[in-house]
Structure 1
Amino acid sequence: MLRPVSAGIVSGLVAFTSSFVVVLTGLHGVGASADQAASGLLAVSIGMGLASMLLATWTRLPITIAWSTPGAALLATTGAVEGGWPAAVGAFLLVGVLIVLTGLVRPLGRLMARIPTSIAQAMLAGVLLQLCLGPVLGVAANPLAVGPVIAVWALAQRCAPRWASPLAFATAAVVIGVEMAAGGGGAASVPLLPVLELTAPTLGLGAVLGIALPLYLVTMASQNVPGVAVMKGLGYEVPWRRTMVVTGLGTLAGAPAGGHGINLAAITAALAAGPEAGEDRDRRWIASLTSGMVLVMLGLGAAACAHLIALAPEGVIPAVAGLALIGTFVVSLRAALAEPSEQLPAGVTVLIAASGIAVGGISAAFWALLAGLALRALLRPRRRRRRRGPSQRVGAEA
């Protein structure tokens, strides 16, 4: 019993501390105020905690649910769309509906499977590139504050890679504390109890194309599909329909409070489903149950986390967010460029997504996806003709 519980505690701590800064950054990016972002962090933390507990108990499988870190990174680079924060909330609701439909409607699931991995991962890599520059730009602008954060992260990558991002944030917290002490202030009276701010959603074309569709695609391609693959590699078959319905409904429930979405865990899935959770495979579900409990408790401190980040010196928070995403960026870029025949469309997709342009109020992620798919469709028939040509000539000569 002890090993599954300890593995679940580690899983919950790593899942929250490694990327909650990215979530807050993403929500701010699409127009959330400090209180609205704290409310969104609370919503996704409790949502993924309760979903993990429900699915683990229901299926007796070590299924762990996470927030969409790549999705939050996408939001951070999207910027406010027409309609502002209420339109973003409407987009989150639409993503929840689409995830539920993906579990219930098989043709939609098959359509998702037809989206080329190279293009989806290239779009994500381009989005992440902007954020991964945070440590570089931060250390140039504020070396005394950002330098220690990068140094601790680099040392942790050698000694304890799993804890690199949490330790980077811990170092940032120390830097913030020193800055507050040196300035003799920063302890303004703010509510540190859980904050829940509901927003009436709206929805427009810019929010659908600029937020909802890219967020849905990134969540499916970078979280749900890899999450199933990770679990399969560990010997577990994820019940697809139940998982999509639960996470989709969880996304719908959290959206009015500012939650951008929950999904299958990919990176942290192995912490609760792997050997570290005990030799008895039939009891590893306890690790996911424990992880869910930890996430709910950590989520109650979302307001305090948001306040701490608001006090950070210049460059510190972008550096922490960028460091947390470097690993995901490397994996996405490698997947995007893995197939030689896909490299040109994938490269164009990366560049457009990284540009940050917004045309007609629609974010670069959508235009990157559209351009990548169009170029891929243009080039693929040409390659087929070139391959068939010699064989057809040989057949004619015979």
Structure 2
Amino acid sequence: MSTPVPKAPMLSVREALDFLLEAARPVEQVETIPTLEANGRVLAADQLATIDVPSADNTQMDGYAVRAEDCASGSATLKVSQRIPAGSVGQQLEPGTAARIFTGALIPPAADAVVMQEQAEAVGDSVTIHHAPRAGEWIRRKGEDISAGAVILPAGSRLRSQELGLAASVGLASLPVRRRLRVAVFFTGDELTMPGDVPPEGLKPGAIYNSNRFTLRGLLENFGCEISDFGIVPDSLEATRATLREAARENDLIITSGGVSVGEEDHIKPAVEAEGRLSMWQIAVKPGKPLAFGEVRRDGGSAFFLGLPGNPVSSFVTFLLFVRPFLLRLQGVTGQVEPQGYTVRADFELPKGDRRNEFLRARLNAAGGLDLFPNQSSGVLTSTVWGDGLVDNPAGNRIAAGDLVRFIPFAELQY
């Protein structure tokens, strides 16, 4: 009687993620594009400020530019000698005078403070200052925000609207970015059909609509990927191999959904092994567990391969936990790619923890706590629409109402 071979221990979420991030090769090609079109792209080189921001001392408030010593009494009446709107340059401020000034305007020479208009009373060509300002009050100093020559955006930054505004504030009309990541997707399973091809009443027994195609494409679009969609591939080894070869030709990454188990009709494993190399992972995660990672050969190189589970929630959560950070590394992001978690009160109970690290669909309630979706099955896609994010619950951990848990909002995971 042969001795049974013990199963290899499941990888932890941390172990699987570390392996993926270590294997990632960022795209190398760089292009220069207008700053207005750079939202969501990854910066390829440090960007330096060419000017000080502000470029000169200016006022933070509408009011009056004064010499602080002229207003020490707290009730000084001064002659209004000039009016300085934003974009204009004032004259030197003489003792005993004030300049009417507007937000953003340059501070005139010899003025050392601004009194906001609510603390002043204008009568004719004079103004009474009902305040004793300190030197520097309501003045933005030259270079206070940015100093010329400073790195304002480091290479590897993923550009958001605020980064684009910062680049524009120092006059950067274009930016060098890594090219967009090219990702191929296809889906396996003869049970799959597309919405619109067959009406609900016409579905054959066992047939299902291919929801994963819509979910995964939407996620990839959120990350600005160029997508090649090969649709539903027949459940045959030949068709799967042919699609892998075509997908690898022009893409950096191939993602599939379904077919990553070891059943006779699951052809992903032998197809990828024939066209490249593959590791089949069992990860201690729920929902999820199976994840395939490898590479598919092509002339002069290879494309990465990631095979996700077929269950809709498993596919969604596996993408968020593993594919998302891997994508960001491939795009050239050098900073943190893992999502930020927050400590939030659980307003629910989980009497028994699973042997795997669970990611529970939950949402914030009006009291600032978390409610749990009642059905956590990997096929219940409504839980992902109802929820605001995932509770990261360690293996074996029970949760009592009032316990503090780690909550990862979908907003941290989907962009």
Give the TM-score of the pair, scaled to structure 1: 0.20
Q: Which has more radius of gyration? A: 2
Higher relative contact order (CA 8 A, sep 6+): 1
